[in-house]
Structure formats: structure tokens, C-alpha cells
Amino acid sequence: MPIYEYTCNNCNETFSVLKLTTREEETTCPSCGSKEVTKKMSAFSCCTPTGTGSSFTGGT
């Protein structure tokens, strides 16, 4: 389940939302209730069975 980050265009609050579906749903700012929000570009995280946090086995 992806977590998306948003910034409110009304109060500039930055917040995260756990989306339980792939459908694009209207997102509301938890601080002021505005629906005028912008989705931010954010990094992702993953883990591996070894716990190293990366599964890259690249070579040359």
C-alpha cells in the first residue's frame, strides 16, 4: 500500500496519506480541510530478506 505525500495549497501543511486503492481519490488537508492539495514527488523505501535495504546486485 503506497503512502503519498501532499502539500496543501491553502495552508502549506505537508502531510502523508496511506492509499488503500489505486483509484485516484480526492484528498483533503487534515489541518484546514481544503481539497486544494498538490501531490509531492517522494522517495520510496524497500527492504530485503537480509535487511540491507537494497536488492541491487549490479555488475559492470
Domain chopping of the chain, boundaries? 3-39
Please report the pLDDT score of residue 26 as a whole number: 87
Nearest to 8 by CA among 24, 23, 30, 26: 30
pLDDT per residue as tens, the chain (60 positions): 688 899 999 999 999 998 877 677 789 999 999 999 999 986 666 666 765 555 455 555
The rounded distance, in Å, linking the Cα atoms of 26 and 10 is 15
Q: Who contacts 11 (Cβ-Cβ below 8 Å, separation ≥6)?
A: 29, 31, 32, 34
